[in-house]
Structure 1
Amino acid sequence: MTLYFFLAAFTLGLFMGSFLSVIIPRLHFEEKGIIMGRSHCRKCKKQLGPFELIPLFSFLVQRGKCKKCKTKLSHWYPTTEFVTALTFGALTLYSASIMEWLILAALFFVFLFIYFYDLRYKEIHDAIMLPGILFAIVASFLIGDPLSSFIGAIIGFVFFGLQYLVSKGKWLGSGDIRIGIFMGLALGWQNMAVALFISYIIGSVLGIFLLVTKRAKAGTALPLGPFLVLGSMIAFFFGETIINWYLWTLLY
């Protein structure tokens, strides 16, 4: 059953990733029919047929080009589809029931939206963010620890809120405060602490790498959202192991 569960989740993840890759640019460019609108080539506007909408498969068969105008398709499509599928599949290993998996999948769909939207456009969109926070509150009562989640949300709000106030919005944006609240609700306070630590470590390492390789200059702004999402995912999947290791090093 575990294998079938994984394959089903992976397949659903492909389609949800495809949906995600479509709504992200539509939201950013404020296009009509954000959810129900027909998918089309962004260059020649050709509406896509059923076989052109199959995640990963259609991209590979068409060799990454539009069937009509031969314009190269964005690598964001297969990347978003595969990462979402892999995430949904991995969640089956941490779910005691289908209901728990569905709730976790919805939470991680929000995380992935944050990751790809902020990575592409360097901003946070509230169309998913605010409903995501409300859902995370409900999820904390269904599969989590409400007290831990609310403490985590407070940590996220204070941690990013203070930085926003002190820097007057120069260090980070108000959207990062909302990400912090969502992280705390979804992870609980212990994993929230792990996520913040890992996020800033990853961000620092990448920042140093970009400076050393001269791919960025001092003062170049990097989107914080992707680092927070990576830290959150690592904390969710390995947070308990990291915490136990840290406590062991303190005691021994």
Structure 2
Amino acid sequence: MQILYLIYFFIIGTVFGSFYNVVGLRVPKKQMFQSERSYCPHCRHTLSWYELIPVFSYIIQRGKCRHCKAKISMIYPLVELFTGFFFAYSFYVFGFQFELITALFLTSLLAIIIVSDLKYMLIPNQVLLFFLPFLIVCRIFSPLDPWWSPIVGALIGYLLLALIIIVSRGGMGGGDMKLFGVLGIVLGYKGVLLAFFFSTLYGTVIGAILLSLKIVERKKPIPFGPFIVFGSLTAYFFGDALVHWYVSTFFYTLKNI
């Protein structure tokens, strides 16, 4: 039965992931609530239902539009797989506990952030404001210990990024700052600090690799949102285990010096 539930959450996640692609692409352009159906961004042909099956349509069409043969961005299937995987993993970790709802909302928010930041280097306020009340309610019904951790976490996340923006004179964006404020509610003060650490680590390492491979230019800005996404997920799912491992290893090393 566990496997069936995991498959179910994965499939549901890919379906939602397909929708989050649309949200991430349209909300920054203020097109989200138009009645227009999904279409090819190149030839603007309205897509049929069988061209919108998550992941499979991309594979069957070999990553190209059936009509104009233009390449379809890899963002689409990757976000669908991302959402499917973390929906399933959230169920694997939490089962039918209330925290599962928190994990699904967090995954949904981060999936949209990946799309919008990669496409436009923008984290829309509308998306953050939509998810904010749901995440607050989730933390009320599934509180952290201590209870004030989400409040302090939101303040630390917001103010830490604000300080970095001031010191670096715009080295990070206001969207990153607001996103960390929202993430602080979910992760708490310890988790948001871990999320910042991992985000910075991933950004530094991957950025250096991209520069060394000359995939990006030295002065060309790189969207930081995807690094925040994976840094936050690392802190959310593995933060406690990583901190416990680090502390136990540190004290073991001190004891044997």
- 2:61 paired with 1:51: no
**TM-score for the superposition, normalised by structure 2:** 0.89
Query: Hey, what does 2:31 align to over in structure 1?
Result: 31
In the other structure, the counterpart of 2:166 is: 165
Partner of 1:114: 113
Task: Give the Cα separation in 1 of the matches to 2:206 and 2:136.
Answer: 32
Paired with 2:63 and 2:213, the residues of 1 have a C-alpha distance of 30
Counterpart residue identity of residue 105, structure 1: L
Structure 2 distance, partners of 1:93, 1:57, is 24
Could you tell me how far 1:103 is from its partner in structure 2? Answer: 3.1
Structure 1 unaligned spans of 5+: none
1:124 shift after superposition: 1.0
1:185 deviates by 0.8
| Partner SS state of residue 188, structure 1 | helix
Instruction: Read off the aligned partner of 1:156 and give its amino acid letter.
Output: G
**Any idea what SS the aligned residue of 1:175 has?**
helix
Deviation at 1:218, TM superposition (A): 4.0
Pick which of 127-136 and 204-213 moved more: 204-213
State the alpha-carbon separation in 1 of the partners of residues 186 and 139 from structure 2.
7
- What amino acid does structure 1 have at the position aligned with 2:78? T
Identity of aligned residues (%): 33
CA change 1:238–1:53 in 2 (3 A) is same
With the length of structure 1 as denominator, give the TM-score of the two structures.
0.91
Q: Which residue of 1 aligns with 2:148?
A: 147
Q: 1:155 touches 1:189 (CA, 8 Å); kept in 2?
A: yes
* Matched residue, 2:19: 19
Q: How does 1:180-199 map to 2 (within 5 A)?
A: 180-199=180-199
Secondary structure (helix, strand or coil) at the match of 2:239 reads: helix
Residues in 2 aligned to 1:127 and 1:54: alpha-carbon distance in whole angstroms: 27
Aligned-residue RMSD, C-alpha: 1.9
157 and 33 in structure 1: CA distance in 2 versus 1, 3 angstrom threshold: closer
CA contact (8 A) 1:133 1:181 kept: no
Residue 101 of structure 1: SS of its match in structure 2?
Answer: helix
What stretches of structure 2 of length at least 5 have no aligned partner? 253-257
Paired residues for 1:226-241 under 5 Å? 226-241=226-241
What SS is found at the alignment partner of 1:177? helix
Q: Shift of the alpha carbon at 1:189?
A: 1.7
Greater Cα offset, 9-18 or 53-62: 53-62
